[in-house]
Amino acid sequence: MKARLFYFAAGVVFVTLAFLALAHFEARSAAREADELRVETIARAMAFTVIAEREREDEAAQGLTERLALEAGKRSIGLQEILVLEGTKIRAHSDPDKTGQRLNPESMADKRIYDAAQSLKATVRRNIAERERRPELDANPYPERELVRDPLKQTLAISIPAKSDGDMRALVRVVSAERPPPLTFPVTVLIIGLLALGLAGLLAWKLEGLTLHLAASAVILGVLVLQAQALLGWRDGLRHEHAAYLATTTAELAQAGALAAPTTAPERARLFHELGLYEVRSATVSTATAAPHLDFTANGFTTSIGTQAFEAASAQDRHDLLQVSLFFAFLALILTNLGLAGQLTRGAKALHEHRSAYAYLAPAMIGMMVLVFVPVVFGIALGFMDRDYNVWGFAGLRNYLQILSDFRVSEPTNFYFTLVVTVMWTFSNVSLHVGIGLFFALLLNDPMLKARGVFRVLLILPWAIPNYITALIWKGMFHKQFGAINFLLEALGLEPVAWFQSFWPAFFTNLSTNVWLGFPFMMVVSLGALQSIPGDLYEAAIVDGASRWQRFRRITLPLLMPALVPAVIMGTVWTFNMFNIIYLVSGGAPDGATDILITEAFRWAFERDRYGYAAAYSTIIFVILLIFTLITNRITGTTKGAFE
Amino acid sequence: MSTPGLAEDSPTSWGRIGKIIFFTVVSALVIYPVLWVFKMALSPSQGFDSSLNPFPSNPTLANFETVLLGDFFGRALLNSVVVSGATTVLGVFLACTSAYALSRFRFPLRTTAMLSFLVTQMFPGVLMMIPLYLIIDYLGLLDQLLGLVLVYSTTAIPFCVWMLKGYFDTIPRELEEAALMDGATRSMIFWRIMLPLSLPAVAVTALFSFMTAWNEFILAAIFMSKEENYTLPVMLRMMVGQFSSDWGNFAAGAIVVSLPVVVLFFALQKQLVGGLTAGGVKG
């Protein structure tokens, strides 16, 4: 038993460490990619500006912008859109249909470019006064498209005024590609890792002793290296096309001599200064090597464009991945030799022996694994991470500390404030559900009562209606001006209440909605239990002279408990996580004061954009509920019978 | 306090008359919001009627007409039917097979499997939304009905498994042993004996899966960005959003949406309650 526990713990540690390491690695390369893309976009914009200006002066560069823009449009990689505008005429565009056209301010698609041109005029006017030209940055280049909410996927547009025939009347505008999503889930890693375990298991089945340990370790090591290679291949695939395009354009750039021409450093500096890009430190194009590339430093990030740069990034990744996989392999080696192999032997034997049982269980388990367990593990892991300026990083316990060590308890968004509200909410709901439900059930449990069935059906109705509909209806009923509740108050000669402007009325709206839809469940459960109590118990009690209260206290209540206790536990968990009612009725009004933990977690994730924080928040909710269930389970033994 | 089994007083005793009056008042209070919705649905205006009378003064079916013939409602209805139907089929199949395994076989990790089903019921949905979004995105199922079907059927599985397992446990093993003697295979036993015998429980499982899919709106709202992929709950929520309040249309829509579940619910509610309390799990 002890050994098993140890293996289990070791396994958990192994998986967690592996996951965190990978997540960290992923976050870091995503951050690097985002930086690269940004700098790259600036570099491209500058290069195009230079080319666009050269084109007019240099015979050799004729039509180059058009060619490069079309090339970029065809591959749609690196850049989403390239536009060289002269007056209102489009000189070059990544969309071949647009090249050579004039802007049509009436058309929706052109409106944006037209606006950009207008903005260019303003820019030029402003910049002429300052005798400089400055690029315009636009974080939302496609206003007609739905705004991408994820800041990581937002694109960046750079517009640079350019000279044309000596006049500053051209505009170069490039739109960056969407930044790569930062948290790509390493499914490959998971699958290959499982494969490794399976292989090791098979091996362990056939071998014994030292040979077994060594062989299993070798398999795990091998598969982990393969796994690293697979991950790497996947990344490389992503980069390869990108790099190929970059290499082409870089070669074109070099050929045009646009950037290579000013060979001396002061000359380059002057060029960039003229472009108004102060942040750019250096940019060099090298055609000396077989792989032309552009080194570029801006905003403190250095990037290198071209195949050579790609090779370098690849090598860096390979090195990192090798380290990561060696680390895992080492861990795996230790674990195998600690007896994991023995476990696997047993596992494999059991798998074979009970194969039909596992076959029946497998479909549901696979589904649960992918869509329930993985998201949960992922969610918990996310709680240990945080996003800083769009870059994911490992945060350790920071989220948890921020949540739990903030004691400004009078703030509605404070964890302890919300916790108290949640406990109050759960307790008041469950006691009212049980109180009302039980009371009605006791009254209804009378076979001689006329129209009993009708009342039963009418009273169950609230339970049958989808709860989001109930919530929306009740929200309407509590409307200050048009709600039925305020009409009732006015009919009774009372002042109408602004239900959602202070805490207690708002809490009351949530509570009454949830009580309305929640008591029928308790009523039905109690009614079912009451009907199963044998009548002769009461007859015997009456013969013995027991009073009504004594009969209730000594017979009804104890016999109700087995049905009522699980219902109460369930009801508590339900109410604790009752998202729909809070979210739709009061919506947390006023100022999030009536939010419970679950809606607060939702707001942290989807309204305040702090996924890591929200994940930590949810994990805390989960732990609270888990402890609650374990304690009640221990006391009542509710699920004991069900495991047989 | 009333006690069962004692019939010494007649149906017309004062106590019973008092109870009938009490329940008439209580029932009227409880169904008042429902009547209110019917009134809004049948009234010609889109706003609220400023009277407490729960019956419409000049009823019309105009709102139902607007809603049912509206541009997107029909589409949303179709989406909801497809999603809920597919969820029911998939969810019931997955739940039946694994409940059968848990009920009839003894194998290593059986308790762990059952516990894991139970524990998942405590995971706050919010914790899973972001990862689920990323996974569905990874699988390329964002903005597709299939994505919703997969997510809904797996969220319905734990409850269904526990409830079906409880029911399977009550079916005597002798039946299967006899069938095995006669040369039946495991799968024949499952399809020909277990499933037909557990039809009531399977029906409840189906109802539960159906209701899960039919009533869910948060994930549907997050996963679906194209209007033609909206399900009914998302559609209804939009009707009474911040900037629009077509209460008449909303009420008509709410009735159309609720009707099938309410009917199904009343048809199967006895088994549902039994399953809820027997399983001892959250739904």
Predicted confidence (pLDDT) per residue in A299-325, tens digit: 344 445 444 455 555 566 556 656 665
Return the DSSP state at A401.
H
Specify whether B48 is located in the same domain as B117. no
Phi-psi region of A157 (alpha: psi -120 to 50; beta: other; left: phi over 0): beta
Whether residue A350 and residue B262 make contact (CB cut-off 8 A), yes or no, is no
Residue scoring higher pLDDT (A96 or B189): B189
Specify whether B184 is located in the same domain as B274. yes
A20-29, A157-166, B229-238: segment of lowest average pLDDT: A20-29
Q: Which residue on chain B is closest to A564 by alpha carbon? A: B277
Does B46 reach chain A within 8 Å, measured CB to CB? Answer: no
Q: Which residue on chain B is closest to A643 by alpha carbon? A: B111
Residue B88: the pLDDT is 94
Residue A140 has pLDDT above 80, yes or no: no
Out of B131, B158, B269, closest to residue A460 by CB: B269
Does B11 reach chain A within 8 Å, measured CB to CB? Answer: yes
pLDDT digits (tens, 9 = 90+) for B53-88: 777 777 788 888 888 887 778 888 899 999 999 999
pLDDT digits (tens, 9 = 90+) for A384-429: 887 755 556 677 788 898 899 888 888 888 999 999 999 999 999 9
- Maximum Cα–Cα distance for chain B, whole Å? 73
Q: Which residues contact A237 (CB under 8 A, 6 or more apart)?
A: none
A137-146, B19-28, B242-251, B268-277: segment of lowest average pLDDT: A137-146
Cβ burial of B85 (10 Å; 0-12, 13-18, 19+) is middle
Residue A590 has pLDDT above 80, yes or no: yes
Specify whether B188 is located in the same domain as B266. yes
Q: Give the range of the structural domain holding residue B248, as residue numbers without chain letter.
A: 71-279
Q: Give the neighbor-by-neighbor strand order of the sheet with A282-286.
A: A282-286, A293-298, A301-306
Residue A490 has pLDDT above 80, yes or no: yes
In a domain, B9, yes or no: no
A124-138, A260-274, A481-495, A561-575: segment of lowest average pLDDT: A260-274
CB A123 within 8 A of CB A161: yes
pLDDT digits (tens, 9 = 90+) for B125-178: 777 887 888 788 888 888 899 999 999 998 888 888 888 888 888 888 888 888
Return the DSSP state at A554.
I
- List of chain B residues whose C-beta atoms are within 8 Å of the C-beta of residue A494: none
- List of chain A residues whose C-beta atoms are within 8 Å of the C-beta of residue B27: 454-455, 458-459
ipTM: 0.85
In a domain, B1, yes or no: no
What is the overall mean pLDDT for chain B?
82
Number of neighbouring beta carbons within 10 Å of residue B254: 28
A79-93, A350-364, A492-506, A583-597: segment of lowest average pLDDT: A79-93
Whether residue B124 and residue A370 make contact (CB cut-off 8 A), yes or no, is no
Whether residue B36 and residue A477 make contact (CB cut-off 8 A), yes or no, is yes
The Cα–Cα gap between A173 and A135 comes to: 9
Specify whether B121 is located in the same domain as B184. yes
Specify whether B142 is located in the same domain as B51. no
Task: Count how many domains chain B has.
Answer: 2
What's the per-residue H, E or C state across A215-270?
A: HHHHHHHHHHHHHHHHHHHHHHHHHHHHHHHHHHHHHHHHHHCCCCCCCCHHHHHH
In a domain, B5, yes or no: no
Among B residues 109-138, those touching chain A with beta carbons less than 8 Å apart? 110-111, 113-114, 116-132, 134-135, 137-138
Residue scoring higher pLDDT (B57 or A356): A356
Residue B215: the pLDDT is 87
Whether residue A476 and residue B247 make contact (CB cut-off 8 A), yes or no, is yes
Whether residue A368 and residue B120 make contact (CB cut-off 8 A), yes or no, is yes
In a domain, B140, yes or no: yes
The Cα–Cα gap between B194 and B187 comes to: 10
What is the overall mean pLDDT for chain A?
71
Residue A236's pLDDT band (cuts 50, 70, 90): low
CB A461 within 8 A of CB B262: yes
Reference B83, options B218, B202, B212; nearest CA is B212
In a domain, B2, yes or no: no
In a domain, B66, yes or no: no
- List of chain A residues whose C-beta atoms are within 8 Å of the C-beta of residue B102: 361
Reference A567, options B163, B168, B155, B275; nearest CA is B275
Residue B264 has pLDDT above 90, yes or no: no
CB A304 within 8 A of CB A285: no
Under CATH, which architecture does the A48-176 domain have? 2-Layer Sandwich (3.30)
Out of A367, A570, A615, closest to residue B157 by CB: A367
Whether residue A443 and residue B154 make contact (CB cut-off 8 A), yes or no, is no
pLDDT digits (tens, 9 = 90+) for A460-483: 899 889 888 899 889 888 888 777
The residue with tokens 């809606």 is: A599
Residue scoring higher pLDDT (A145 or B105): B105
Reference B91, options B150, B133, B167; nearest CA is B150
Specify whether B18 is located in the same domain as B145. no
CB A364 within 8 A of CB B101: no
Whether residue A539 and residue B6 make contact (CB cut-off 8 A), yes or no, is yes
Among B residues 248-267, those touching chain A with beta carbons less than 8 Å apart? 250, 254, 257-258, 261-262, 265-266
- CATH number, position B258: 1.10.3720.10
In a domain, B119, yes or no: yes
Whether residue B280 and residue A466 make contact (CB cut-off 8 A), yes or no, is no
* A332-A337-A343-A347 Cα dihedral, nearest 10 degrees: 60
Whether residue B277 and residue A376 make contact (CB cut-off 8 A), yes or no, is no
Residue A72: the pLDDT is 64
- List of chain A residues whose C-beta atoms are within 8 Å of the C-beta of residue B52: 484, 487-488, 491
Residue A4: the pLDDT is 45
Choosing among A4, A149, A183, A360, which should be mutated to test the B contact, i.e. which has the most B CBs within 10 A?
A360
* Amino acid, res. B112: T
Reference A90, options A73, A107, A74, A102; nearest CA is A102
- List of chain B residues whose C-beta atoms are within 8 Å of the C-beta of residue A482: 47-48, 50
Closest-CA distance, A363 to chain B, in angstroms, reads 6
pLDDT digits (tens, 9 = 90+) for A148-205: 444 445 566 777 777 776 666 777 777 776 654 433 445 555 555 656 655 555 555 5
Q: Is A170 helix (H, G, I), strand (E, B) or coil?
A: strand
In a domain, B4, yes or no: no
Specify whether B18 is located in the same domain as B119. no
Q: B54 is written with which tokens?
A: 């729960």
- A-B contacts at Cβ under 8 angstroms: 312
- Residue extents of the structural domains in chain A: 2-28+184-370, 48-176, 400-430+445-515+568-643
Give the relative orientation of helices B14-42 and A452-464 as an angle to the nearest 10 degrees: 40
Does B201 reach chain A within 8 Å, measured CB to CB? Answer: no
Residue A249's pLDDT band (cuts 50, 70, 90): low
- List of chain A residues whose C-beta atoms are within 8 Å of the C-beta of residue B161: 364
Out of A374, A445, A563, closest to residue B135 by CB: A374
Question: CATH classification of A400-430+445-515+568-643 is 3.40.1260.10, yes or no?
Answer: no
Specify whether B253 is located in the same domain as B212. yes
Residue B100: the pLDDT is 92
pLDDT digits (tens, 9 = 90+) for A540-558: 888 988 888 888 888 888 8
Whether residue B108 and residue A375 make contact (CB cut-off 8 A), yes or no, is no
The Cα–Cα gap between A633 and A77 comes to: 57
A215-219, A248-252, A573-577, B83-87: segment of lowest average pLDDT: A248-252
- List of chain B residues whose C-beta atoms are within 8 Å of the C-beta of residue A458: 27, 30-31
What share of chain A has pLDDT > 90, as a percent?
11
